[in-house]
Structure 1
Amino acid sequence: MATTSSSCPCPYTCENEIDLRLYLKQVVGGTDQNQFEIYRPKTGIFGTTVVNDWILVDAPVPNAKVIARAQGLHVLSDLASVGWFVSLNIAFQPDNRFNGSTLQVMGVLPPEGQWAIVGGTGELAMARGTIKHSALPPPPPGSTFGFRQLDIHALYPKNAAERMELF
């Protein structure tokens, strides 16, 4: 007979926790454009699909340090509130704390809301949590970019990457 236990065999907590604030830089035009419309219906806007390779930086300023990239797509899937379904792979850059690790993220992109962290790789293997996001005030008129504040809160097993190698 198989049994399960909710107790943790570790003498201390078996999970690490992330509380991290980053800023998503979205560039909609110009030479640094980091999103591109790949499909627009012949009538209306419902179903418009955009691929993105947004950068995540440490401050909402033009030349901030790049910490990660949010690579994926967003699809206009909510006509009532013009909401975009978002599916992202947040890939941390090699020169920072989570060197090459990723978070898999899904959710809706209204002006403010939350995305679900549904997994991860590397040090962040099996991560779960949420990302609270909110649009920052728009940049000066004529700018082709904007920032979105991301408050990332996630839990992931300690030594998850090492344990995954056993399988």
Structure 2
Amino acid sequence: MAKRFLLILPLLSTILLLAVTAAESNSYSKTTPFQEYKPEKLTHLHFYFHDVTSGDKPTAIRVTNSPVSNTTAVSTFGVVVIADNLLTEGPDPSSKEIGRAQGLYASTDMNTVSLTMVFNLVFTEGEFNGSTVSMYGRNPIFSKLREFPIIGGTGEFRLARGYAQAQTYSLSGFDAVVEYNVFISH
């Protein structure tokens, strides 16, 4: 009997030690009241996104090419583009700049021309200067109206959620001006 007890004693000691440690140690998490609570509001932003892939100063650069060499929609599959695109109040690139769309898009559909987009909308002017909105989603570029989720933000848009609607305003080669209406709860 004593031998059994001596064999079980280390196991019981370990279990007891783990139970006491787990009960007393919550250092990985601490919940406190949210001190900066403000009533939630809905903000509507309207701007133009300028995706320039040509000329002396492109704002979107292709970093990979498709391994497929035919001329179907599948031929764009695998293309990845990194961008730092201008956001303006109007469709003309010389209209007032309000920020930049910084991120990437990739052709991820083997059947149609559709992009997966990951962008931070970085506001550099006006009421939201210094704030960002994170947008992520599928962009079937030849659809008239596209919609993307807003999945977060910083500054004035902390805890943001919502959606963005995009509509191509003009297209010249691979250069595009896209009109955005963004609805953000924050």
TM over 0.5: yes
Aligned-partner Cα distance in 2 for 1:38–1:144: 15
Runs of 4+ in 1 over 4 A off after TM superposition: none
CA distance in 2, matches of 1:120, 1:132: 17
The one-letter code sitting in structure 2 at the alignment partner of 1:29 is S
Deviation for aligned residue 1:40: 1.3
2:154 corresponds in structure 1 to 121
Q: Which residue of 2 is the match for residue 50 of structure 1?
A: 81
CA distance in structure 2 between the partners assigned to 1:19 and 1:42 by the alignment: 40
Deviations 1:75-118 (CA, angstroms, capped at 9, x unpaired) = 1001222100000011100x311011000101122233101100
Q: Unaligned regions of 5+ residues in structure 2, if any?
A: 1-37, 69-74
Superposition map of 1:98-117 within 5 A: 98-109=128-139, 110-111=141-142, 112-117=145-150
How many residues get paired?
140
Residue 73 in 1 paired to residue 104 in 2? Answer: yes
Residue 144 of structure 1: CA displacement?
A: 6.8
Counterparts of 1:33-44 in structure 2, within 5 Å, are 33-43=58-68, 44=75
Shift of residue 130, structure 1, vs aligned partner: 0.4
Equivalent residues of 1:52, 1:73 under 8 A apart:
yes
> Which one has a larger percent helix, Structure 1 or Structure 2?
2
Q: Which has the higher strand share?
A: 1
Aligned residue in 2 for 1:146: 176
Choose 1 or 2 for highest CA Rg. 2
* Cα contact 1:48–1:75 (8 A) shared by 2: yes
Separation in 2, partners of 1:77, 1:114? 17
How many Å separate the matches in 1 of 2:91 and 2:85? Answer: 13
CA contact (8 A) 2:45 2:182 kept: yes
Give the drift of 1:145: 3.6
Uncovered stretches (5+) of structure 1, i.e. residues with no partner: 1-12, 157-167
Name the CA distance, whole Å, in 2 between partners of 1:145 and 1:61. Answer: 13
The answer to whether structure 1 residue 96 and structure 2 residue 126 are counterparts is: yes
Higher relative contact order (Cα pairs below 8 Å, separated by 6+ residues): 1
| C-alpha spacing 1:119/1:25, structure 2 compared with 1 (3 Å) | same
State the 1:146 CA deviation: 2.6
Residues 30 and 144, structure 1, Cα contact 8 Å, conserved in 2: no
SS of 2:121 mapped into structure 1: strand
Identity %: 27
**1:135 equivalent in alignment to 2:168:** yes
In structure 2, what is the equivalent of residue 24 of structure 1? 49
RMSD: 1.7
SS at match of 2:127: coil
What is the TM-score of this pair, normalised by structure 2? Answer: 0.70
TM-superposition CA deviations, 1:42-99 (whole Å, max 9, x none):
3343111110111110000131111011100001001222100000011100x31101
